[in-house]
Chains A and B, each alone.
Chain A
Amino acid sequence: MKKVVGKKSERMAAYIFVLPAVILLAAFLIYPALQTVRYAFTNYNIMRPDRITFCGFDNFIEIFQDKDFWKAFTNTLYFTVLVVPFQTVLALALALLISSRRKGVSIFRAAYFSPQVTSMVVVAILWTVMYNSNPESGLLNALLVKLGFEPSGFLNDPDTAMNSIIFMSAWQGAGYQMMIFLAGLQGIPRDQYEAASIDGAGKLKSFLYVTLPGLKNVIKYVVMITVIQAMKLFTQPYVMTKGGPQNSTRTMVYYVYEQGLQKRNFGYACAVAAIFFVIVVILSLGMKKLIKAD
């Protein structure tokens, strides 16, 4: 291999090329992030930038007594814990279904991937219509009633609202992970399957002992990005439920938006955002460690 670090002038050029990205990151990511931490310790109301006063840990003390915050926190965890395995298994199942080289498979591949390229706002509005709690007008409830079940409240029932969002989110998001799994499946050498079948392994056994171990790294990667994405859940509650009913779909990011922009409680929102940031960092580091462990 050629040595990467070359002449001085080339190194100079590299820095110049990196510079715009660094400036952009600094201006739109690092600086705002630092500002967020600063405002977290103030009583900044977005209407009064002239009256920002330092208020110490007041916001944090208030947050720890704020039951809406804790509900948002547990909702976010609940969503993540449920959507990650569900979406990953769904994506893997879809990938297995279309990995064969049969005719017409490409149509299904496009179909399964299409929700992913549709805007989440559009998807959310469509699902809101399908989830309508009235069997007269909601597609899913009409189906339930036809099959002899009781209609469900879906988004209007605090017991089912989050699960409804989980289901549609997995449906929307699985296409992307499916593509990654598909690439992973193609990376498993054919001869391993042949060897397994010679040894008398059936479909299930070759899946358990060849496919899964072969996909180990891909699964780790998929789980990790899905967790981070799930923690950031915002669009679905924003479009479909406004965090309700009864707080059942309020998430951390939605709470930051609600407090900061809607209620103009900017300092408070910054404090929530800062806590959220710490949680995500801990989660990412923890997962990295787990993945490295084996």
Chain B
Amino acid sequence: MKKRAIVLLSAVSMMGIMLTGCKDAEERVNADGESVITVWSPSDEPAIEQWWVDKINEFNAAHEGSIELRREAIVRADSYAYEDKINAAITSNDLPDILYVDGPTVSVYAANEIIQPLDDMFTQEDWDDFLDSNKEQGTYNGKIYAIGATESSVALYYNKDMLDSIGVTAPDKLEDAWTWSEFKEIVKALTKDGVVGTNIIMDKGEGLPYVLEQFWISNGTDFVSEDGSTANGYVNSPEGVEAAAFLNSLIQEGYANIDPIQKEFHNGKAATMLGGSWEVATLEKDYPDLNWGVTYFPVADEGIPTSPTGDWAAAVTRDVQDLNAAKEVMNFLMSKENVATYAQAIAKPPTRNSSYEVLPEYNEYPRSLFKQQLMETGHPRPRTPSYSVLSASYAEAMVNIFTGVDPQEALDEVAEKTDRDYQKYYAN
């Protein structure tokens, strides 16, 4: 008898262990009857994590009895872990109320009705205050689906001492920005003594389209058509092929490494770098001895000035239950004050014009240059529901071009893969 009891007990306990793996669905109302609004966003540096803790406490204290704000920090790392989690939640109808998404993926989620238009989520006054670049990146099919607190931009960082050594001064006005030809001459002269002229992002991932799409735009084309329905004739257009060939020439002629070391520019191994606005804070804090400056994104010889934009933005999902509560939270997260404090904590340019009044550092070089680019030359990444395919195929194609594949051939393949995905899932 005793033996049987033990057997039963162990079997039951094993079943128990198995079942604890299952998680309850996202809670929408808590025990106190408050509407629960859950936010998912990638886990970030300690300063941002602290910002979230403080702001959530502040919000919950002000809304006691009506709304409880919660946040889940999701590890993003370098991979697609964040997307995997969203994919799983889509399948189980278990999305949070507010979801932070990366700028160019807004179209993907919008086209699949995962997130909903923000429409009257903000007052007209608020809408007018948000930067155009931010609204543009969040727009799909004429409607705004996501809005972020911070923006990003990329400009050309340079090592002042190295530039002095070849007797060149970097332009300090947008209209004087280096053309591709000038840029190439300069990086050629800078390539010596174990130092390369420039550093091109080589993350084999999202960084490539983020930075390099501007070479397409500056040269008079883009990755996809305006409506996002086709890549053929854009990414692989003659202007696009020319842009790819230019970038490849920098690698082939030895002015940039295909396999750069970490922080190549920071460590004095590259004389220039196309780097993000966030690098200003890193350089100031961790590399005080480096004598650096920053100038505008290079422009195609006959082209237009451009610069990348886009950052993570908040969207409201289709699984939201208490839309008014979600609206309250969105207005709180994107309020004038919170956009400014968030931008300050994360060291990125804020997305509201009014925030720049309280962040005077953006009126001074070097941050002013990024602000100017954002307002005058910023171009968001392509808005197409096939962005995931485009981004991955493009990154792969650039690596292929840098290792010897003909640019036309490689870019044709990007266009073909992107268009096939669009035709299969979104054409009608």
On A, residues with C-beta under 8 Å from B are 9, 13, 16-17, 19-20, 23-24, 43, 45-49, 132-134, 136-138, 153, 155-158, 241-246, 258, 261-265
Contacts and interface: CB of A to CB of B under 8 A. Distances in A.
B234 to A, nearest CB: 19
A16 B8 CA distance: 8
Contacts of B258: 133, 156
B132 interface: no
A265 B421 contact: yes
Contact of B194 (A48, A136, A153): A136
A157 B424 CA distance: 33
Given A134-B257, A245-B403, A47 B18 contact: no
A20 B8 CA distance: 12
Contacts of A132: 259, 261
Nearest to A246: B400
A263 B18 contact: no
Interface residues of B, number: 42
A99 to B, nearest CB: 40
Nearest to A161: B403
A43 to B, nearest CB: 7
Of B10, B260, B269, B424, most A-chain CB atoms within 10 Å: B424
A19 B403 CA distance: 54
B7 interface: yes
Contacts of A158: 403-404
Given A47-B90, A158-B403, A242-B204, 6 more contacts: A13-B3, A23-B15, A49-B91, A137-B269, A138-B259, A261-B87
Given A20-B18, A246-B400, A264-B388, A49 B90 contact: yes
Contacts of A155: 259
B74 interface: no
Nearest to B424: A43
A211 B175 CA distance: 78
Interface stretch (B159-167, B221-229, B391-399): B391-399
A245 B261 contact: no
- Interchain residue pairs A-B with the least CB separation, the first 3: A47-B112, A245-B403, A20-B14
B403 A156 contact: yes
B174 interface: no
B173 interface: no
B7 A258 contact: no
